[in-house]
Amino acid sequence: MRTNIVARSLLSERTRRQRLLKTILVPIVLWSATVGGLGADFAKGVKRVHFVGAPKHGAPIDNKVDPGLRYMANRYEAMQQSGSQHGASSARTASMYDGSRYFSLLPPHGDGIPRALVFMQVSDASNTMELERLGVQILTTSGNILVAEVPITRVYEVASLPNVLSILISGRSKRYLDLSRTQARVDQVHAGAGGLDRPYKGNGVIVGVIDSGIDWSHPDFSVEPNDARIQWLLDLSDSTTGTAGREWTKAQIDQGLCTEIDGQAAVGHGTHVAGIAAGGGKRNPSYVGMAPGSDIVVVKGTRSYNSGGGFLDADVVNGVNYVFTKTRAMNKPAIVNLSLGGHLGPHDGTSLYEQALSNLVIPGKIIVAAAGNEGSSYIHCSYAAQPGTGYTDALETPWKLDEGTSIALADMWYPFSGNISVGVAVYQVGNFTQPLAGTNPVPLGQFIDNVVLTDGTTNFGVVSIDATTTADPNNNARRVLFLIQDNPGSLPISNYAWSIYTFGNGTFDVWSVAGGGFPPVSALPIYFRPGDNNKSVGTPATAKKVVCVGAYVTKTSWVDLNGVQQTQPNAILGSISSFSSLGPTRDGRTKPDFVAPGEVIVAALSSSVSPPPQVVLQGGGLQKLEGTSMAAPHVTGIGALMLERNKYLSYENIVSILSSTAATSGVPNTYGAGKVQALNALLATPPSVDCATLSRLTGYDCDGNIILSYELLDAYPNPFNPATTIGFRLARPEKTELAIYDLLGQKVRTLVTGEMTEGFHQTVWDGTSDEGEIVASGVYFSRLSTPKFTAANRLVLVR
């Protein structure tokens, strides 16, 4: 039977080739004969049409097998025939797995035969014995429709079974999420094509999602029904078992006991994000996520059952730590997605939120964050203050409050070398020439608290300004917080136009954190400086060891639940999304690191939400969303593929590889290094190294634990008076001495002497000698010495 089929298809292939040859040769001959006259014909407007490709009749079995599948089956057989005659070409065969092509095959399972992913209509879905005998692997049964993998050499045999009514190759509708997969060259990685040694789907890697929750019952997050890929789910909105949230195990999820939902208030955000990063495509194979082979750990980070209310920074840190702790116990690498952010803080990686996240990142434990959606919003302003003594000398920035907002917050930072006085003024909307009222200037180091801004008759709002941070301990910068709130009993603050005014010296950055922005306003007086969209990448994407992802457009239309074609306004395929936040960070680092598909993206829809039908895909179960929230999980999933290849990759490795292999696109602080390309990144990812090599390179052991080391810490405070604390760390139990020396090398005081345990120790020096005498102001040195280690640090005592 099989021989006959092969013969028939080869005959078809030969016939096709002969006809193809004719279609090429005939026009060439015709063109050669009339080459002198063509130009004249075109000049006269004569339209020449060459009809090529003579139609032929198909065999009866062709009615069962769709043309795409026939094409792939015949092409594979022709390649095999050609290979046996001229030597096999693995590259040509590999091209059949190329997911960017309209039709493609899945790589072999072990029998060496590629497989086609198909939809198969059968008369009796319970009678699959003959299908299985032919090597068909049934993935999903839905009524009389099967989703199955079929060995490509047995397509016609399968089609000839009486039980089989029709077979359709999957992947013909290259749309939405699978379009973004193609753009990011993820399909090829899944197929093991393009020179890869094997397919990569994120197997053995944990994708962590800190988000609004997840629809854990969605088939995209299960291997099979009642076999969840979600290993752990921590629900912070459920305080049944304490403030640290309620934990659900895989076993409980499998049994359907989990009560967590991804609620309406967040439009199913977490489910969508998880679907992009790790969705298995069970609902619809066209919508497979980036790492469908990975396992998943989810933290529902909102404190609201219905998923509203935002995320406390500390909860995000706790959530990431939860994922890493769980995965460490499983001895697996992990990559955590944070499609969330805000604008409170210095935007330079030094806030404790940013530091904590960076501290959690070690080789094999990676964090990815969305850049933010303020690329077209005027949430930032920066200019050099000009000298002056009061409001009349000041420059101003219009601060437009959102309609209905009752509170507005802005956060200003500038270098220690500056000295800027600030204030807030209020105007009638549309008239920035004469303020209605204003605060007194607040000099560096001072504050005003809950000042009611009034002209004596009307109260406009309540203002607080805190300029008391003269040197933030983390970056030595100066900081000013501005807060405007409704005055009870008065008109809302959004009924007025506001401004921030400054004078002094120094260049500042100020971000609107909540309730408004600094947009250009028509007819502004010359002393006004409107805001911009620079440095609009939010926190935690500004952290020093968090991968930052912007968004570009890969899809502009979709067919909605009602079958209506919808179009995304103002989106140009391949261009940066207008909302994608811009870099750099305040300390000058280029951001985003790169961009990924983020507009519009179709992925899993939570069953707990009811979005408008216009955003739900025809057939249901999937919805379209856009945002850097959707771009980040593309990189999270691609990172999981890279970690499958090398589970010890560090943050620096991931950023370096994805940057060097990205498709260069344009302005660095818009596109970063460019558009991520998964295949190129996988090809550039070295395979895992052994533990000893890893330890030598990174300072971490294979469980991600820091290798114990010696360290003498800087004294704190320093300079000091009257006392300072000195910490040190030992790698092993040892005879140890910690002593203070003066500039002449004379020992002044012995603080520690004797056998000490390994780990951290600290002691206080009170500025006295061994004799108990108070020592003079000056420079001293702390010196730690053990048989294996010696170090010294400088101290300054100021009396």
Interactions with other proteins, residue window 301-340 (CB under 8 A): 310-318, 321, 339-340
Query: Minimum distance between the CB of residue 474 and other proteins, rounded to whole angstroms?
Result: 7
709 burial type by CB count under 10 A (0-12 exposed, 13-18 middle, 19+ buried): exposed
> Rule CB under 8 A: is residue 560 a binding residue for other proteins?
no
Q: Alpha-carbon distance 125 to 419, whole Å? A: 78
Q: Alpha-carbon distance 676 to 186, whole Å? A: 10
Angle between helices 352-360 and 313-330 (to 10 degrees): 10
The residue type of 485 is Q
> Rule CB under 8 A: is residue 572 a binding residue for other proteins?
no
Query: Minimum distance between the CB of residue 481 and other proteins, rounded to whole angstroms?
Result: 5
Closer of 625 and 694 to other proteins (Cβ): 625
- Please, what is the Cα angle at 309 between 304 and 314, to 5 degrees? 90
In this chain, which of 158, 267, 543, 795 binds other proteins, going by CB under 8 A? 267
List all residues 6 or more positions away from 733 whose beta carbon is below 8 Å from its beta carbon: 755, 756, 757, 758
In this chain, which of 20, 52, 452, 691 binds other proteins, going by CB under 8 A? 452
> Rule CB under 8 A: is residue 585 a binding residue for other proteins?
no
Q: Are 396 and 529 in contact (CB under 8 A)?
A: yes
Query: Minimum distance between the CB of residue 270 and other proteins, rounded to whole angstroms?
Result: 9
- Bridge-based pairing state of the strands 594-599 and 547-553: parallel
Query: x/- site string to other proteins, residues 740 to 779, per CB under 8 A?
Result: -------------------xx-x-x---------------
Query: Minimum distance between the CB of residue 610 and other proteins, rounded to whole angstroms?
Result: 16
Q: Which stretch binds other proteins (CB under 8 A): 102-110, 201-209, 479-487, 685-693?
A: 479-487
In this chain, which of 483, 510, 548, 679 binds other proteins, going by CB under 8 A? 483
Closer of 310 and 668 to other proteins (Cβ): 310
> Rule CB under 8 A: is residue 464 a binding residue for other proteins?
yes
The residue type of 425 is A
For residue 584, cis peptide bond before it (omega within 30 degrees of 0): yes
> Rule CB under 8 A: is residue 593 a binding residue for other proteins?
no
Query: x/- site string to other proteins, residues 136 to 155, per CB under 8 A?
Result: --------------------
> Rule CB under 8 A: is residue 539 a binding residue for other proteins?
yes
Query: Minimum distance between the CB of residue 780 and other proteins, rounded to whole angstroms?
Result: 18
Q: Alpha-carbon distance 310 to 318, whole Å? A: 15
> Rule CB under 8 A: is residue 244 a binding residue for other proteins?
yes
Q: Alpha-carbon distance 223 to 221, whole Å? A: 7
List all residues 6 or more positions away from 667 whose beta carbon is below 8 Å from its beta carbon: none
Query: Minimum distance between the CB of residue 566 and other proteins, rounded to whole angstroms?
Result: 15
> Rule CB under 8 A: is residue 288 a binding residue for other proteins?
no
In this chain, which of 498, 501, 579, 594 binds other proteins, going by CB under 8 A? 579
In this chain, which of 137, 252, 468, 495 binds other proteins, going by CB under 8 A? 468
> Rule CB under 8 A: is residue 477 a binding residue for other proteins?
no
In this chain, which of 4, 85, 243, 565 binds other proteins, going by CB under 8 A? 243
> Rule CB under 8 A: is residue 345 a binding residue for other proteins?
yes
Nearest to 511 by CA among 372, 427, 413, 426: 413
> Rule CB under 8 A: is residue 627 a binding residue for other proteins?
yes
124 burial type by CB count under 10 A (0-12 exposed, 13-18 middle, 19+ buried): exposed
> Rule CB under 8 A: is residue 266 a binding residue for other proteins?
yes
How many whole angstroms from its chain centre is CA 378?
Answer: 23
> Rule CB under 8 A: is residue 540 a binding residue for other proteins?
yes
Query: Minimum distance between the CB of residue 450 and other proteins, rounded to whole angstroms?
Result: 6
List all residues 6 or more positions away from 340 whose beta carbon is below 8 Å from its beta carbon: 210, 211, 301, 311, 316, 369, 370, 629
Q: Alpha-carbon distance 749 to 764, whole Å? A: 11
For residue 717, cis peptide bond before it (omega within 30 degrees of 0): yes
Query: Minimum distance between the CB of residue 561 and other proteins, rounded to whole angstroms?
Result: 19
In this chain, which of 201, 300, 479, 529 binds other proteins, going by CB under 8 A? 479
Q: Are 760 and 727 in contact (CB under 8 A)?
A: yes
User: What number of chain residues touch other proteins (CB under 8 A)?
Assistant: 75
Query: x/- site string to other proteins, residues 643 to 662, per CB under 8 A?
Result: --------------------
List all residues 6 or more positions away from 305 whose beta carbon is below 8 Å from its beta carbon: 237, 238, 261, 263
Q: Which stretch binds other proteins (CB under 8 A): 59-67, 78-86, 354-362, 427-435?
A: 354-362
- Please, what is the Cα angle at 573 between 282 and 170, to 5 degrees? 25
Question: Could you tell me the CA-to-CA distances from 1 to 73, 157, 160, 404 in Å, in that order?
Answer: 15, 8, 10, 75
Query: Minimum distance between the CB of residue 703 and other proteins, rounded to whole angstroms?
Result: 17
Question: Could you tell me the CA-to-CA distances from 551 to 27, 592, 593, 678 in Å, in that order?
Answer: 46, 9, 11, 16
Closer of 220 and 354 to other proteins (Cβ): 354
For other proteins, the binding residues in 724-743 under the rule CB under 8 A are 725, 727, 729
For other proteins, the binding residues in 209-228 under the rule CB under 8 A are 211-212
In this chain, which of 145, 521, 689, 713 binds other proteins, going by CB under 8 A? 713
> Rule CB under 8 A: is residue 353 a binding residue for other proteins?
yes
Beta bridge partners of 397: 500
Handedness of CA 36, 37, 40, 45 (dihedral sign): negative
Closer of 442 and 657 to other proteins (Cβ): 442
487: phi then psi, degrees, rounded to nearest 5: -90, 120
> Rule CB under 8 A: is residue 490 a binding residue for other proteins?
no
The residue type of 108 is P
Q: Alpha-carbon distance 289 to 275, whole Å? A: 6
Q: Which stretch binds other proteins (CB under 8 A): 40-48, 168-176, 254-262, 620-628?
A: 620-628
Query: Minimum distance between the CB of residue 672 and other proteins, rounded to whole angstroms?
Result: 16
Q: Which stretch binds other proteins (CB under 8 A): 41-49, 445-453, 488-496, 500-508?
A: 445-453
> Rule CB under 8 A: is residue 708 a binding residue for other proteins?
no
> Rule CB under 8 A: is residue 535 a binding residue for other proteins?
no
Closer of 166 and 376 to other proteins (Cβ): 376
Closer of 439 and 499 to other proteins (Cβ): 439
- Please, what is the Cα angle at 408 between 405 and 413, to 5 degrees? 160
Q: Alpha-carbon distance 643 to 645, whole Å? A: 5
Question: Could you tell me the CA-to-CA distances from 203 to 38, 177, 354, 677 in Å, in that order?
Answer: 59, 20, 29, 19
Terminal C-alpha separation, the chain: 100
Query: Minimum distance between the CB of residue 468 and other proteins, rounded to whole angstroms?
Result: 7
> Rule CB under 8 A: is residue 707 a binding residue for other proteins?
no
Query: Minimum distance between the CB of residue 218 and other proteins, rounded to whole angstroms?
Result: 18
> Rule CB under 8 A: is residue 511 a binding residue for other proteins?
no
Closer of 318 and 646 to other proteins (Cβ): 318
> Rule CB under 8 A: is residue 119 a binding residue for other proteins?
no
118 by DSSP, 3-state: which?
Answer: strand
Q: Are 427 and 496 in contact (CB under 8 A)?
A: yes
